[in-house]
């Protein structure tokens, strides 16, 4: 019988990637990452824009509720005096105009007595003693939708030193037709919007708060600009106009404007016609600072889209 001897198997072993192969692999991964990461950034940015636009829509809903309750939209320019004597309300054209506007919302307002609009109490700030507060559009938005501010955390009717530093609580407006700014009593209207305390700022330190959008790193408030219930947009404030260069967007109501990722409103009245800005990357040379702004008249996108 013949015996067949099998030849021994030869196994070749590989010592791993060569340096060249490793470099090629790294280069391929880098190329893929360069393609994928911007796409992820764009998707994330678009989601942030959509959320901010939805937030502006919720503010629009609250403004519509204010109009339903009071017959008018909120004004975006207002001057308040904390000593509500009639003589004080006539002390300047701005106060006289504000008195007229308050009377349009609350026809029976008496303009007598003292009010502490920014709820500093007698322990901090102006203490409600004859301070004059000039509200910006951003402050008007929070004031009219939130109402007066209370820091009376324990409900005893007195703001003591331990409560002054507490997070302010918006308690709407009293239904007392003579003084809707009363902080006492449970018969109230509002607040009409629940503000996220982490997005509230006070840029001028007067105790009247402003509201930021939810974009990461935001440091500037949402701007509220009103057509002032038939009086028209004020020439002293910035707002956006249409292609004719003069007709405001939402000409009979209001504009809500988020400053976008760059935190800069960067107003050019015709900015909505220019662009583009859609990749979510910080502004670079040649781009308009306002192109990333998000508004309630161009829903779901930026002005530059």
Strand blocks (E) in the chain:
78-81, 132-135, 149-150, 169-170, 173-174, 188-189, 200-201, 210-211, 223-226, 254-258, 294-295
Is residue 264 within 8 A of residue 22, CB to CB? The reply is: no
Neighbours of 114 (CB within 10 A): 13
| pLDDT at res. 124 | 37
Neighbours of 99 (CB within 10 A): 20
Provide the residue-wise pLDDT of the chain in tens; the chain has 305 residues.
455 444 555 555 555 668 777 788 888 888 877 777 666 667 788 888 999 999 999 999 999 999 999 999 999 998 887 766 656 677 788 888 888 899 999 999 887 766 666 655 443 334 444 577 889 999 999 999 998 877 666 555 555 555 555 566 788 998 988 888 877 778 898 899 999 988 999 888 877 889 999 998 899 999 999 999 988 888 888 888 887 778 888 999 999 999 988 888 876 555 544 334 444 444 344 456 677 889 999 888 888 77
Who's near 254: CB < 8 A, 6+ residues apart?
Answer: 63, 73, 74, 76, 224, 225, 226, 227, 296
Domain ranges of the chain: 71-208, 212-305
| pLDDT at res. 61 | 96
| pLDDT at res. 9 | 55
| pLDDT at res. 123 | 34
| pLDDT at res. 177 | 87
How many angstroms separate the CA atoms of 305 and 300, rounded?
A: 10
| pLDDT at res. 247 | 85
């Amino acid at each position: 019988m013949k015996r067949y001897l099998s030849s021994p198997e030869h196994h070749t072993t590989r010592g791993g990637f060569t340096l060249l192969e490793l470099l090629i692999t790294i280069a391929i991964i880098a190329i893929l990452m360069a393609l994928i990461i911007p796409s992820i950034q764009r998707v994330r940015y678009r989601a942030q824009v959509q959320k901010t636009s939805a937030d502006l829509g919720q503010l629009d809903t609250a403004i519509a509720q204010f109009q339903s309750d009071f017959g008018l939209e909120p004004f975006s320019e207002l001057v308040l005096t904390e000593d509500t004597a009639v003589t004080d309300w006539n002390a300047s054209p701005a106060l006289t105009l504000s008195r007229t506007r308050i009377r349009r919302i609350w026809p029976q307002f008496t303009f007598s007595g003292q009010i502490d609009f920014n709820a500093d109490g007698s322990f901090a700030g102006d203490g409600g003693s004859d301070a004059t507060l000039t509200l910006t559009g951003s402050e008007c938005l929070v004031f009219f939708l939130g109402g007066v501010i209370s820091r009376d955390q324990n409900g005893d009717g007195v703001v003591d030193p331990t409560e002054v530093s507490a997070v302010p609580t918006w308690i709407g407006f009293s239904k007392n037709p003579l003084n809707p700014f009363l902080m006492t009593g449970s018969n109230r209207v509002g607040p009409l919007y629940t503000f996220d305390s982490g997005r509230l700022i006070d840029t001028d330190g007067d105790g009247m708060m402003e509201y930021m959008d939810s974009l990461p790193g935001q440091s500037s408030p949402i701007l509220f600009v009103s057509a002032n219930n038939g009086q028209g947009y004020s020439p002293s404030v910035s707002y956006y106009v249409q292609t004719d260069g003069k007709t405001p967007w939402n000409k009979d109501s209001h504009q809500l404007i988020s400053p976008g990722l760059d935190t800069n409103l960067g107003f050019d009245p015709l900015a909505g016609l220019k662009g583009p800005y859609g990749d979510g990357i910080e502004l670079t040379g040649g781009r308009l600072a306002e192109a990333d702004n998000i508004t309630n008249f161009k829903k779901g996108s930026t002005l530059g889209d």
